[in-house]
Amino acid sequence: MRHGLSAFVALLVLFCVGPASTSIGQTMTEFNIPTSYGDPYLITLGGDGNLWFTESDGQKIGNVTTSGVFTEFTIPTSGASPQGIILGPDGGLWFTEFNGNKIGRINATGVISEFSVPTSSSLPDQITVGPDGSLWFSEIGINKIGRITTSGGITEFSIPTPNSAPSGITSGPDGNIWFTEWNADKIGRITPSGVFTEFPIPTAGAAPLCIVSGADGNLWFTEYWSNKIGRVTSAGTFNEFAISTTNGFRGPFAIAFGPDGNIWFTEFDGNNIGRMTTAGILTEFSIPTPDSGPVGIASGPDGNIWFAEWSFGNKIGRVNLSSIVPTIALTPANVSLRVGQSTTLTITLSLPESYAVNVTVSSSNPTALSVPATVTIPVGAISASFPVSGLTRGLATVTVLLPISLGGASATSNVRVWPHFP
């Protein structure tokens, strides 16, 4: 049985079954979960340094170490269909039981407690930690936002827009709770005291799904049907960034901020992991397992991106960032020239990028050596050259620096400027 918003989506998507793969070269690694048809759904980092995830059909909570060792715990309520999961302020992992109509808590040793949601058929979906130290969750079945204390006390708040279908939820940089409204095409905000504000998304039929609070002070969210990534400020100002449709519909699903400062998201229909800079520049990484159905995504303690393959994958995947973050070289390493002369240095990347890369250039002795402030490496290229000019006698170190979004690697070249002789 399929659950949550993914149940609705699955009815509209045609899958083609292909052979499974557990090896993805250097860019990705996949780990098969022990339970067949467990359907790992959403994923989060636990306080123990492991990745914890829900198994929507396996009726379990699982965790996996960064080396790929799994442990699974069966939920007491039969047919609970766990969905969202988050590390709580008390050190436990809190999760929603979509069909069980409960909020669950599991500690690091696997002891599970369950708390019934007061309203029946609430269909609790996703969950987050609020600024008040409580857990906040979306109730897609009854159009409410719920709050549960760490002692199990639950309060529910009705959303002003009827039948809005709240799904994704996160704590915002402004001290409020932010959530998506799948049916209403809105982003909602609720204060800890229960006051709502709703912001309509510019694109009609966007179907906002998951949302995350960004390191840039904004909220970022996926627009499933409009095939976009959205950004909204805490004042309600929107920007939307289209995902390329050259190779078909992508279906952006879950979203997370990576350790590299970029936005990372799953493409449920595109079978990709997407990376977007805060300027809206997109790169996509294909998952070799066909129709893996990537859904949940999270940053791991190892500096990599982890994701759940819910459909025909039934795996936990890892994007190995070290294999896709370019290194940089500057040649020649040592240069001599005379005052009034110029020469050329060359920047070389280890990997091409799908967008133009602006490299910062500096001189340790600008009185002796003039350099440009930036050099642009064209789309798909791995190198670019630039001139340096001797001004006065002296030594200078030229440093080139990649953007933080590409890892911030640097390289240097030493330049000696000699006097000009007649």
The span from the first CA to the last CA of the chain, in angstroms, equals 86
Q: What DSSP designation does 341 have?
A: -
Instruction: Render pLDDT for 185-204 as a digit per residue (tens, 0 to 9).
Output: 999 999 999 999 999 999 99
Predicted TM-score (pTM) of this structure: 0.83
Q: Taking the mean position of all CA atoms in its chain, how far away is CA 99?
A: 27
- Full DSSP string of 99-158: TTTEEEEE-TT--EEEEE-SSTT--EEEEEE-TTSSEEEEETTTTEEEEE-TT--EEEEE
> Residue 282: what pLDDT?
87
Distance CA 96, CA 105 (A): 9
Q: pLDDT band at residue 17, thresholds of 50, 70 and 90? A: very low
Helix (H) or strand (E) holding 7: helix 4-12
Averaged confidence pLDDT in the chain: 91
Q: What Rg value do the Cα atoms of the chain yield, rounded?
A: 25
Instruction: Render pLDDT for 334-363 as a digit per residue (tens, 0 to 9).
Output: 999 999 999 999 999 887 776 788 999 999
Per DSSP, the chain holds a count of helices (H) and strands (E) of 1, 38
pLDDT at residue 9 is higher than 50: no
> Residue 215: what pLDDT?
86
